[in-house]
């Protein structure tokens, strides 16, 4: 398989709930087991860190796209560290670099990534989101926005997507 498939996992940092973090770990693990790369915002807490930890546990490769101009605050689970020095401006790079995006938990930075993904014609899977969030993003994103309740559903949706869109 070449080039590598990058699955973006986006979600809150400091304010992630324990349930978000647990599910993010399982998601990263599942991404790794399917041979895909886990791409996140690279920080050492929240959904980013948990997803990369799960991916490492599953012997997968992890990429962190960092906001700072060095990697001092990177998660130790980020094997490849892309250092942007752009702050939240790097959210657009997270989105453009991901073949498909999974969103778990919600906060301002996360919402910007969903919106930029829709703007860039990327598929976004809203995992375990509330009704208001789903309705808002469906309104602006229509068919680009998918909804899932479990990691298994997400993996299934990614496989379906790649079956159609993966380069030969």
Binding stretches for its own copies (CB under 8 A): 2-4, 6, 37, 63, 65, 69-71, 74, 76, 78-89, 91-93, 96-97, 106-112, 114-116, 118-120, 132-133, 135-136, 139-141
Nearer to its own copies among residue 74 and residue 127 (C-beta):
74
Residue whose C-alpha is closest to residue 101's, from 3, 2, 6: 6
Number of neighbours of residue 5 by Cβ within 10 angstroms:
19
Closest distance between its own copies and the C-beta of residue 148, in Å? 19
Question: Shortest distance, CB of residue 1 to its own copies, whole angstroms?
Answer: 10
Backbone angles phi, psi at 36, to 5 degrees: -95, 160
Closest CA to 86 of 68, 74, 102: 68
Q: Residue 50 CB, nearest distance to its own copies (Å)? A: 18
**Cβ proximity of 31 and 38 under 8 Å:** yes
Rounded to whole angstroms, the Cα distance separating 70 from 8 reads 21
d(CA 53, CA 69): 23
Closest to its own copies by CB, 10 or 151: 10
In terms of CB distance, is 30 or 52 closer to its own copies?
52
Least distance from C-beta 21 to its own copies, angstroms?
A: 18
- Rank residues 146 and 151 by Cβ distance to its own copies and give the closer one: 146
């Amino acid at each position: 398989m070449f080039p590598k498939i990058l699955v973006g996992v986006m979600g809150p940092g400091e304010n992630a709930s324990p349930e978000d973090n647990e599910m993010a770990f399982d998601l990263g693990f599942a991404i790794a087991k399917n041979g895909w790369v886990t791409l996140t915002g690279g920080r050492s807490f929240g959904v980013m860190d948990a997803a990369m930890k799960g991916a490492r546990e599953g012997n997968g490769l992890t990429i962190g796209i960092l906001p700072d101009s060095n990697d001092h605050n990177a998660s130790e689970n980020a094997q490849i560290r892309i250092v942007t020095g752009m702050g939240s401006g790097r959210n657009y790079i997270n989105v453009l670099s991901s073949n498909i995006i999974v969103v778990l938990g919600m906060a301002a930075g996360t919402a910007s990534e969903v919106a930029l993904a829709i703007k860039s014609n990327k598929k976004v899977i809203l995992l375990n989101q509330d009704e208001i969030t789903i309705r808002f993003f469906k309104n602006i994103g229509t068919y680009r926005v998918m909804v899932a309740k479990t990691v298994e559903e997400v993996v299934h949706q990614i496989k379906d997507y790649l079956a159609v869109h993966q380069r030969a």
